């Protein structure tokens, strides 16, 4: 099982590296786009480390995250729109570097690295705390409401982490144009959260009480 899982994980990892690398570096038209290489390193090195840790300590979680596919048509559309958004963000960032439209100062790029890694750490904490975490919207057998740690502060800390990660990406790539485009990810997340909460409130025992106890979805005192 682990050999099959290892091969599957490595295949998807390498495909991801090649695809993102092509989307970023080909529009840039040069291997001198150092922000692009920095982004690739900051993105894929932690993913590799996390994959190794999950393979050793929780292969079931790794397999679930590799094979998950969204079944609800509405949410499948959200996932597809998010994918198109990322493609556009990467391509625009590459062209922005090639033609020098509007480059951000280096201190912004390095600050974005810090924000990106902070988002990874937040995401890792969510993975550690919530064993039911899934890439798809579903209620699993035996699932219980998680209301400790970050889940005592906001109801969807995973989405908080992804917003931090995804907004840091275009800054890391030194592209304010891509950052402006990536802001469209926020309404997509909000749409997904509303659908997810409707399902959880209907099918997960105790979730309605949890919603009353923890009022905020993403950011304390804001939303």
220 falls within a domain: no
221 falls within a domain: no
Full-model pTM: 0.86
Query: Model confidence over 73-111: pLDDT tens digits?
Result: 556 777 788 889 999 999 999 999 999 999 999 999 999
C-alpha distances out from residue 163 to 8, 133, 185, 189, Å: 27, 17, 8, 8
222 falls within a domain: no
186 falls within a domain: yes
168 falls within a domain: yes
Query: Model confidence over 12-32: pLDDT tens digits?
Result: 889 999 999 999 999 999 999
CATH number at residue 37: 1.20.120.1630
- Domain span including residue 199: 2-213
Distance CA 213, CA 205 (A): 14
Number of domains forming the structure of the chain: 1
223 falls within a domain: no
């Amino acid at each position: 099982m682990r050999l099959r899982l290892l091969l599957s994980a490595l295949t998807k990892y390498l495909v991801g590296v090649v695809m993102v690398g092509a989307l970023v570096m080909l529009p840039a038209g040069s291997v001198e786009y150092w922000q692009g290489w920095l982004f690739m390193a900051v993105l894929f090195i932690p993913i590799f480390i996390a994959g190794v840790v999950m393979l050793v300590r929780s292969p079931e979680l790794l397999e679930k995250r590799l094979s998950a596919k969204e079944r609800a048509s509405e949410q499948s559309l959200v996932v597809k729109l998010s994918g198109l958004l990322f493609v556009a963000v990467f391509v625009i960032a590459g062209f922005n570097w090639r033609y020098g439209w509007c480059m951000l100062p280096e201190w912004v790029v390095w600050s974005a690295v810090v924000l990106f890694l902070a988002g990874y750490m937040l995401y890792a904490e969510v993975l550690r705390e919530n064993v039911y975490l899934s890439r798809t919207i579903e209620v699993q057998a035996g699932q219980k409401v998680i209301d400790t740690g970050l889940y005592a502060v906001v109801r969807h800390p995973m989405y908080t982490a992804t917003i931090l990660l995804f907004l840091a990406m275009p800054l890391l790539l030194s592209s304010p144009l891509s950052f402006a485009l990536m802001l469209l990810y926020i309404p997509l997340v909000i749409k997904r959260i509303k659908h997810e909460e409707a399902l959880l409130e209907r099918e997960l025992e105790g979730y309605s009480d949890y919603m009353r106890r923890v009022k905020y979805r993403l950011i304390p005192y804001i939303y």
